[in-house]
Amino acid sequence: MEKKIKWFNQAVVYQIYPLSFKDSNDDGIGDINGITSKLSYIKSLGVDVIWLSPVYQSPMKDNGYDISDYKKINPIFGNMNDLKNLIKNTHAKGMKIIMDLVINHTSDQHSWFKKSQQNDLAYRDYYIWRDEPTDVSSIFGGSAWTYCEKRKQYYFHLFAKEQPDLNWHNPKLRNELYQMINEWLSLGIDGFRLDVIDLIGKDVDDKKFANGPYLKKYLKELYTACFAGKDIMTVGEMPGISIERASELTNEHEPYLNMAFQFSHISLDEIKGQGKWALKDLDLIELKQTFNHVQQTFYKKGWNALFLSNHDQPRVLFRYGSKKYPQASAKMLATMIYGMQGTPFIYQGEEIGMTGIAFKDINNYQDIETKQIYDILIKKGFKHQDIMRSIHKKSRDNSRTPFQWDESTYGGFSRHKPWLQVNENYKSINAKNNIENENSVFHYYKKLLKLRKEHDVFTYGDFQILELDNPNHFSYYRTFEDEKYLVICSFSEKEQPFNFSHQKFRVLISNYNDIDFEYRQTIPPYYAGILKIGD
Ligand code: GLC
Ligand code: CA
């Protein structure tokens, strides 16, 4: 790869889920001023860009991914001045800030939908209406069509019924969206994360949704109308498309997106074809094959976002890591993902080793998807215990519990009972003790992210997997010009043999202190290390 990249190729991005990050006014709900008060913390980790999950006006059926007014701030998060203040302070700290852009659908409370329901001539085609439903299921379960009494027609929604899909075939709607996007950009934000953007090119009648026939057309138009010539970054969330397509859409010479969230590595603990609630154990070889494929496909062609967790995914720690070795696992998983090529994304709390939750009572869950699937599965005759087992593993609330700042009540998130229960482990897992302990996950992240920036090999180097068939460790070389690095990641609770092939090397970072490899040919449980090969 030529040594010519943009800032966002080397940036470290930190995702904030505003509801759960920091509550500044003690109403139990995280807010914008709470985020502003923690900018120094974020900066100290080595973050360059903050991504804010939605803070727009919303009835919060899907926690803000159901927008009822793109131009207003939801009062539970603060107001426009608070947001401007956050943007200003983020920039003053030398960081950038991107917003979430949800344009596949709106809330059913959006004025466009209300007018569309009434068959208002100007808005009747802003959404997707049909006289008869088809047999398409929504991603959250149940039919994707809901009947509207007012209009005597069915409208289409790939998510909850309160999230009607916009009709992208309508040029008037598209222009209105572009105008709104440009207004946001003129506020000085540095780009967008584009929510389920792979769905906008759909053909509903042909049942082609993700990666639909119009995807390139609309992405290109969006790019031309809003992004071209601006020094911003765009990252497209594209859960439904292939690795090849994601790479193609993020080629730097093409007018689409700067980088992709593609999910090939995410659903490997699900039974294929049966959806996210059908559990299976992770097969490390499958994970290695997947990442190998991803790294080879994007190399010199596209640009990938490196992530393991987000607000929709259960925290990766006990998903792909070990309960027996939580600290080592947290560091190992970070090493595995951030040793690769792409832009690192950290989901709030990952950097302090936060874990998922397992509420006994379904009523403690707040997530619309979780509640919906519980009801559907109960109706289908599944047993409560079996459903809860899936929910404990897979509910989106796993990653949405309040950020654990310190050992005080409610983890220092708020002085008021939070909207979602704090994880009980906040006394032992929190930012304060992470910062105080130099062997913590936090300090490891800091060191790892710094290392990435100091060595070009992480940005430009190629990727070569080692022992693809070895079921115990995931290890790979990164090579650039005359530099070669070896990343070693153990996924085993036992000491495992490792063939160092008598190479000379220097350990740059490791989750075990003081291992002298000269005298051993093994790696300890959940070991992670990056070795520089040569003298
Ligand atoms: C994306 C969001 C998710 C939301 C869905 C519908 O996948 O990340 O939180 O529920 O889109 O907007
Ligand atoms: Ca608040």
Instruction: For residue 65, give the CATH number of its domain.
Output: 3.20.20.80
Query: What distance in angstroms lies between residue 235's CA and the mean position of ligand 2's atoms?
Result: 28
Query: Does residue 362 sit in the same domain as residue 477?
Result: no
Query: What distance in angstroms lies between residue 431's CA and the mean position of ligand 2's atoms?
Result: 20
Q: What is the CATH number of the domain that holds 510?
A: 2.60.40.1180
Residue ID of nearest Cα to ligand 1 atom 9 = 312
Query: Does residue 340 sit in the same domain as residue 290?
Result: yes
Residue ID of nearest Cα to ligand 1 atom 2 = 195
Query: In Å, what is the CA distance from 489 to each residue of 46, 72, 470, 523, 524?
Result: 23, 45, 12, 9, 10
Query: Does residue 432 sit in the same domain as residue 491?
Result: no
- One pLDDT digit (tens) per residue for the chain, 535 residues: 455 689 999 999 999 999 999 999 999 999 999 999 999 999 999 999 999 999 999 999 999 999 999 999 999 999 999 999 999 999 999 999 999 999 999 999 999 999 999 999 999 999 999 999 999 999 998 999 999 999 999 999 999 999 999 999 999 999 999 999 999 999 999 999 999 999 999 999 999 999 999 999 999 999 999 999 999 999 999 999 999 999 999 999 999 999 999 999 998 999 998 889 999 999 999 999 999 999 999 999 999 999 999 999 999 999 999 999 999 999 999 999 999 999 999 999 999 999 999 999 999 999 999 999 999 999 999 999 999 999 999 999 999 999 999 999 999 999 999 999 999 999 999 999 999 999 999 999 999 999 999 999 999 999 999 999 999 999 999 999 999 999 999 999 999 999 887 678 899 999 998 777 766 789 999 999 999 998 7
Q: Which domain, by its residues, includes 77?
A: 8-104+171-356+400-444
In 3D space, the residue among 14, 15, 106, 109 whose CA is nearest the CA of residue 312 turns out to be 15
Query: Does residue 12 sit in the same domain as residue 122?
Result: no
> Cα angle vertex 247, ends 242, 248, to 5°?
100
Ligand nearest to the CA of 78: 2
* Residue 256 in contact with ligand 1 by CB distance below 6 A: no
Closest ligand 1 atom number to CA of residue 368: 10
Task: Indicate whether 451 belongs to any domain.
Answer: no
Query: Does residue 364 sit in the same domain as residue 470?
Result: no
How many domains does the chain fold into?
4
pTM of the prediction? 0.97
Query: Does residue 365 sit in the same domain as residue 309?
Result: no
Query: Does residue 181 sit in the same domain as residue 78?
Result: yes
* Residues designated as active site: 195, 237
Query: Does residue 87 sit in the same domain as residue 211?
Result: yes
Query: Does residue 260 sit in the same domain as residue 408?
Result: yes
Ligand nearest to the CA of 235: 1
**Percent of the chain as helix, strand, coil, to the nearest 5:** 35, 20, 50
Query: Does residue 516 sit in the same domain as residue 372?
Result: no
Alpha helix ranges (H) inside 299-325 = 317-320
Query: Does residue 393 sit in the same domain as residue 518?
Result: no
Task: Indicate whether 16 belongs to any domain.
Answer: yes
* Residue 65 in contact with ligand 1 by CB distance below 6 A: yes
The pair phi, psi for residue 181, each rounded to 5°, is: -65, -40
Residue ID of nearest Cα to ligand 1 atom 5 = 65
Query: What distance in angstroms lies between residue 424's CA and the mean position of ligand 2's atoms?
Result: 21
Query: Does residue 143 sit in the same domain as residue 42?
Result: no
Provide the 3-class DSSP secondary structure of residue 40: helix
> Ligand 1: which of 16, 55, 65 to mutate, judged by most atoms within 8 Å of the beta carbon?
65
Task: Indicate whether 161 belongs to any domain.
Answer: no
